[in-house]
Amino acid sequence: MSRSNLLLVLLLILAAAQMLAQAVEIQTDPVDCLPVGLNAAITTTVDGDGDFASVRLYFRRFSPVGSFYYTEMFPIGNGVYTAVLPRPEDRTASPMRDSWWSSIRSRDWLKGRDQAWLTGWLDDLDQEPVEYFVAVHDGEGERIDQTPIRIVEVQDPATCGIRLSQREELWAARLTVGETADPQADRVPFHWSCEGVAERITPDGEALPHTACSKR
């Protein structure tokens, strides 16, 4: 294939990918808080005619370098998907360090905010917060589109009254946690409880029992 023809093919593939992404719109209902030591559900709506195979909720405790975990979201009708998060452990929020800023300053939820704001916000928190976003994937597992990354406070259940539906309670009893980086492999999810975590998905997409959690 000549160089010009190869370039044309690459441009066509890029155009097709952009059209596919534009055909999908993801709207995630923001949550005000997550209760420490308890499960919570997050809901999103996927609109459009895009050809996607799965919707995933990505999550992690706030960290300058830590990788995200994910869990598959289930369709509940009319383009609405929901997923249940593992239980956030009781972890005191770490104070801001100057060395973090260069790594985190470009995160979506920090737009329009500076280091002084983040330092003050973290100082006021009792618990380590959670970052999350929703993404849609094609049949090969490639990400088509995603929402901006959000951050949410983890609070005492007495002040964060989130309740699960009966269906969500069943999901919470047997959770599958996807890994996105090799250091996560079959280790207890970082600063998340193993309660209800039964299965893991490796970065290569293989579903396995979560033996690290089953030993607890």
Instruction: Provide the residue ranges of all domains of the chain, joining segments of one domain with +.
Output: 25-214
Q: Which CATH architecture has domain 25-214?
A: Sandwich (2.60)
Describe the strand order of the beta sheet including 24-28 as a list of residue ranges. 24-28, 40-48, 80-85, 74-77
pLDDT in tens, the chain (216 residues): 555 544 443 443 444 444 444 457 888 888 999 999 999 999 999 886 667 778 999 999 998 889 999 999 999 988 899 999 999 999 999 999 999 999 999 999 999 999 999 999 999 999 999 999 999 988 777 888 899 999 999 999 999 988 899 999 999 999 999 999 999 998 999 999 999 999 999 999 899 999 999 887
Q: Which pLDDT belongs to residue 52?
A: 78
Q: What is the pTM of this model?
A: 0.86
Q: Which pLDDT belongs to residue 19?
A: 44
Q: Which pLDDT belongs to residue 24?
A: 72
**How far apart are alpha carbons 133 and 120 in whole angstroms?**
24
Q: Are 176 and 48 in contact (CB under 8 A)?
A: no
Beta carbons within 8 Å of 181's beta carbon, 6+ residues apart: 67, 203
Q: Which pLDDT belongs to residue 216?
A: 74
Place of tokens 């396995």: 208
Q: Which pLDDT belongs to residue 96?
A: 92
